[in-house]
Structure formats: structure tokens, C-alpha cells
Structure 1
Amino acid sequence: MWYFLIKQNTLETIHFQALQKEAALTETEVFSEPFDNWYVFSVPKDDYTSFMDYLDREGIGYDLTADKPTRDELLEKMR
């Protein structure tokens, strides 16, 4: 699996719905102010190229990792 991390406030509803259809699992990590909420899209290795191509074509910023990040790792990334 590949994990695409996208800040919730940077993603429009239409893009979220399109990505959700392509992902095997979509999770939302909710944080308190002043930190951003994150979407974590789990995408099978065979499908990650088309998922990434969509993000790049639409100009959506993301982080990509082969290991699912923990909540603490996401929080540390924002500090």
C-alpha cells in the first residue's frame, strides 16, 4: 500500500469524492487548532500511479509514504 497525505483544507469536495472512489480506504485525522486536519488515502501499489497522476494534473499538494504514518508522526510533521 501507498499512503497519500493531503491537508483537508486544501482539497475541494469534488476532488475529495474523486480520490475517495480510487482509494482502498480514506481516513481523516482530526487535530485541534492550530494544526490542520489530514486525509490519509490508502492506495494499492498497482493503482498509485494513476492516483498520483490525478493529483499532479489537478495541482493538489500531497505527501507520499509507503508506511502508514501514526497520528504522532503527523503531529510532529506540523510542528
Structure 2
Amino acid sequence: MWYFTIRKNDLSNQQCQLLQQKAVLTEVELFNEPYENLCLFEVEGNNYRHFVDALDLEGLDYEVVSERPTRTQLLNKMR
């Protein structure tokens, strides 16, 4: 599995729905101010290339890892 992290505010509703259709699981990690909320998309290995293509076509910034990041890891990246 691959885990893509995207800032929630960077996604329009249409983009979010498109990515949700391509992902196995979508979660939203909610954080308090001053940190931004994040969307975490879980994608199977065989769909990795298609998901990256969709992100690139939409011009979205993302981070990808092969192990699900913990909430603490996500928060530490924003500090």
C-alpha cells in the first residue's frame, strides 16, 4: 500500500471525489490551528502510477510513503 498526504485546503470538492474513486481508503486528519487539516489516501501498489498521474494532472502537491504515517508523524512534518 501507498499513502498519499495532501493538504485539505488544496483540494476542491471535485478533485477530492476524483481521488477518492481511485483510492482504497480516504481519511481526513483534523488538526487545530495553526496546523492545516490533511487528507490521507491509501492506494494499492498496482494503482500507484494512475494515482500519481491524476495528482500531477490536477497540479497537486503531495507526499507519499509506503507505511501509514501516524498522526504524530504528520504533525511533526508541519512544525
Task: State whether TM-score is above 0.5.
Answer: yes
- TM-score interval (norm. to shorter): over 0.9
In structure 1, the gaps of 5 or more residues are none
Q: Secondary structure at the match of 2:46?
A: coil
Indicate yes or no: 2:24 matched with 1:24: yes
Matching residue of 1:60 = 60
Sequence identity percentage: 47
Q: How many residue pairs were aligned?
A: 79
Structure 1-normalised TM-score? Answer: 0.98
Matching residue of 1:14 = 14
In structure 2, the gaps of 5 or more residues are none
Structure 2-normalised TM-score? Answer: 0.98
CA-based RMSD of the aligned residues comes to: 0.4
Matching residue of 1:5 = 5
**C-alpha separation in 1, matches of 2:25 and 2:58:** 21
Q: Secondary structure at the match of 1:46?
A: helix
